[in-house]
Amino acid sequence: MSEQSAGEKSFAPTEKRKQDAAKKGNVLRSREVAAAVAVLAGAVWLKLAGMWLLTAMQEAGIRSLRFDRTALEDFQPSAMLTGLVGDLLPLVLTLGLLTVSITMAAQLLLGDGRWVIGNLAPKGSRIDPLAGMKRILGPQGLVELGKSLAKLGLLGGIAYYWGSANLLTILSLGRGELTGQLSAAWDAIVTLLFLLSAGLVVIAVIDWPIQYVLRLSKLKMTNQELRDEQKQAEGAPEKKAAIRQRQRDMARGGVAKAVSEAQFILTNPTHFAVAMQYDPAQADAPFVLAKGRGEKALAMRELAAENRVPVLEYPTLARAVYFTTREHQVIRAELYVAVAAVLSFVLSLKRGERPARPRVTVPIELHFDAEGKPFRA
């Protein structure tokens, strides 16, 4: 039962998993968004440049159907075709490039701006019949079937509405002046494209969150995958231990001399360490030889044990000295009484006495938390 639970993909994908999937071509894609953007862009272009294209088509048709004596004596259909293509091709290419560019931009936006060239490579799974059947009969296939039926109903209804509203215009085509009939037909077609693009936008708005949820569902992780990723990100325990040891060795090298000369070490108990000394020949008050936190503090404790330097746990006093005194600087006057009590205790130990551990008091204004912020108990 535990093995089955461990292998169940019930955890949301991490950012690293989503990024790794995107590098392999698994990005958020929605064909409905692409279709809606393409049709809408085409409709806008035809609305703005429609008369330009319609005029070019009309002039090309007139030239193609106009014959004179020279054309009859020297009939060159290839020249006529070349002229027709030369007139219409730039307009058609403009529409095509606009549609392709906007469609690609929409897909790049959905895919976090990532262009995955690997998606263009041929894949055997795309033509594998078994894989195709799984896609058709699986959850993705059912979703696609539902979307297809919804699109058919919505777009069919839009087309029916458009046909009902433009029935008289359609039936009257061919009965009037050519230019007016072409203009009317063009406006009807553009209107249909705008209506269809509106329907496609509705479908795209519904499809995008569906694709988002499906992609996250496919990228879900097992508990073991989460642990493996975390281990990979943080490093193996052996590697982390080696790093800590190197840090400790570096810290030991920097404070070894100071700790060997210290009379005692104040700790917090493990996060902070301050090496203290009092020598009237050097200063009128106790001063700090070295101080550290984290790995450096741990190294100072280890060096103190090796050099038989007393280590005393006074958290409030250790933080007060740490945050108010620099190395090789005497302590603040407000801490004289507390440090003097600790120093007297250490000197008594060195004389072989067994005095009671002193209780020290630190002024409230010198109470700090682990981040060095004033702390009020």
Give the model's pLDDT for residue 226.
77
CA dihedral 47, 52, 53, 58 (to 10 degrees): 130
Give the model's pLDDT for residue 263.
94
Give the model's pLDDT for residue 362.
93
Residue stretches of the chain with pLDDT short of 70: 1-7, 25, 50-51, 54, 56-89, 91, 95, 107-108, 110-140, 170-182, 233-253, 376-377
Cα dist from 48 to 41, 87, 95, whole Å: 11, 18, 11
Q: What is the pLDDT of residues 179-235, one digit of tens each?
A: 666 677 777 788 888 888 888 888 888 888 877 787 788 888 877 777 777 777 665
Cα dist from 283 to 266, 290, 321, 340, 343, whole Å: 19, 16, 16, 14, 15
Q: Give the whole-angstrom CA distance, residue 287 versus residue 276.
A: 6
CA angle 30, 35, 40 (to 5 degrees): 130
Cα dist from 176 to 170, 182, 183, 244, whole Å: 12, 10, 11, 90
Q: Where are the domains of the chain?
A: 12-115+124-230, 238-366
Q: Give the whole-angstrom CA distance, residue 20 versus residue 29.
A: 16
Encoded amino acid at 132, one letter: G
Residues pairing with 311 in the sheet: 265
Contact 264, 276 (CB under 8 A): yes
Give the model's pLDDT for residue 334.
94
Per-residue buried b or exposed e for 235-245, using 16+ beta carbons within 10 Å of the residue's own CB: eeeeeeeeeee
Contact 185, 173 (CB under 8 A): yes
Dihedral (CA of 165, 166, 172, 178) sign = positive
- Residue 368 DSSP class: B
Give the model's pLDDT for residue 242.
59
Rounded to two decimals, the pTM is 0.43
Q: Which of 158, 155, 180 is nearest to 169 (CA)?
A: 180
Q: Give the whole-angstrom CA distance, residue 335 versus residue 105.
A: 67
Q: Give the whole-angstrom CA distance, residue 154 versus residue 135.
A: 25
Q: Are strands 287-293 and 311-313 parallel, antiparallel or unpaired?
A: unpaired
Give the model's pLDDT for residue 1.
40
Give the model's pLDDT for residue 288.
95
Fold (topology level) of 238-366? name from scop (3.40.1690)
Q: What is the pLDDT of residues 13-55, one digit of tens each?
A: 777 777 777 777 677 777 778 788 888 888 887 777 766 776 7
